[in-house]
Each structure stands twice: as C-alpha cells, then as structure tokens.
C-alpha cells in the first residue's frame, strides 16, 4: 500500500515521472508479491501495466530522489512517532492521511472528510487551536502545527 507515496501532482516539479519508478522499486523486492496502487482511470492503469516485469534502474532511482525532494516537508509516512509528543492526543498521522486523500493523487475530498470525521473531536486538528506551542516532533521534519492548521482549512 501507498506505493506511490501520495501520488502528488508532479506538474511543475521538472522532468520527473516517479510513479512507474516507485512501482518498479516496490515490486523488485522478492518479499513483495503484490502492490496496491490506486488507479482512477485507464490512463493510470496503462501507466502501471507498462512497467510490469521491467527492472528497476539507476534512472528510476534518480526519479525517486527528485520526487522525494519535491514532497519533502509535507509528505507524512503515517508512522505515528510524533503522536507521543502531543500532550492533547491529536491523531496526527490520521489527520495527515485525510489531508493526503484531499491533496495527493486521490483528489477525493469525500474520502478525506469521511476519514477525518472518524476522529473524535479531541483527537482532531481542531484541538490544536487551544495549544500554545506544538510539542510534537516529526521524524521527517514536517511542521506539524502547520499541517494541522492546513488540514482544518482544507478538510473540516
């Protein structure tokens, strides 16, 4: 799951088309028997099928590096590590996952809202409004307070 690392729009990110590379990288692992990329239309289906059986190359690695740089600072890996640092029990990873549904390749605001709505109010990003200073720390360097603020704007 999440093989496309959010499937964010790469328009404006230069000459990178990382999704096929990501799929190849996942499937080269002998311990992986299946990937679950979300495919919304025939174009995406063709994009994925085209690389079945192809080896992962150095060029693919470069594409993934570029994509990694492009999404650094806002892509959450949903590890939950930061949540122990939040004294108010905000489910940061779930809020970020809902945000990804709204803004990543899913572009599915209903799924984003449904996911966000499953959170109790005290675990939602609304709780951050009463917080004087964010104490949660992201292992990937995300500005968590900013992400929670953004989630409130986009989803709720």
Footprint of ligand SF4 (CB under 6 A): 76-82, 86, 88, 90, 92-93, 96, 127-128, 131, 134-136, 138-140, 142, 144-145, 148
Q: Find the shortest distance in angstroms from Cβ 1 to ligand SF4.
A: 15
C-beta separation of 92 from 79 below 8 A = no
Closer by beta carbon to ligand SF4, 76 or else 102: 76
Rounded CA separation 64/100 (Å)? 19
Q: How many CB atoms lie under 10 A from the CB of residue 31?
A: 4
Rounded CA separation 99/108 (Å)? 10
How many CA atoms lie less than 13 Å away from 148 in the CB half-sphere?
Answer: 26
Using N-to-C axis directions, what is the helix angle for 92-103 and 144-154, rounded to 10°? 50
Q: What is the total residue count of the chain?
A: 156
Q: Find the shortest distance in angstroms from Cβ 84 to ligand SF4.
A: 10
Closer by beta carbon to ligand SF4, 49 or else 84: 84
Q: Find the shortest distance in angstroms from Cβ 47 to ligand SF4.
A: 27
Q: Find the shortest distance in angstroms from Cβ 123 to ligand SF4.
A: 10
Closer by beta carbon to ligand SF4, 49 or else 79: 79
Q: Find the shortest distance in angstroms from Cβ 48 to ligand SF4.
A: 25
Closer by beta carbon to ligand SF4, 10 or else 90: 90
Closer by beta carbon to ligand SF4, 51 or else 126: 126
Alpha-helical runs (H) found in the chain:
18-27, 42-50, 58-71, 92-103, 109-117, 144-154
Q: Which residue is nearest to ligand SF4 (CB)?
A: 131
């Amino acid at each position: 799951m999440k093989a496309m690392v959010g499937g964010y729009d790469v328009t404006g990110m230069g000459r990178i088309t990382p999704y096929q590379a990501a799929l190849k990288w996942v499937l080269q692992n002998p311990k992986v028997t299946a990937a679950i990329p979300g495919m919304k239309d025939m174009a995406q289906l063709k994009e994925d099928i085209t690389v079945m059986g192809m080896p992962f190359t150095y060029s693919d690695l470069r594409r993934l590096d570029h994509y990694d740089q492009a999404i650094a600072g806002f892509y959450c890996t949903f590890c939950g590590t930061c949540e122990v640092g939040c004294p108010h029990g905000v489910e940061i990873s779930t809020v970020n996952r809902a945000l990804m549904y709204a803004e990543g390749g899913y572009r599915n605001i209903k799924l984003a809202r449904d996911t966000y709505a499953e959170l109790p109010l005290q675990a939602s990003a609304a709780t951050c409004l009463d917080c004087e200073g964010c104490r949660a720390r992201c292992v990937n360097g995300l500005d968590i307070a900013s992400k929670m603020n953004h989630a409130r704007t986009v989803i709720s």
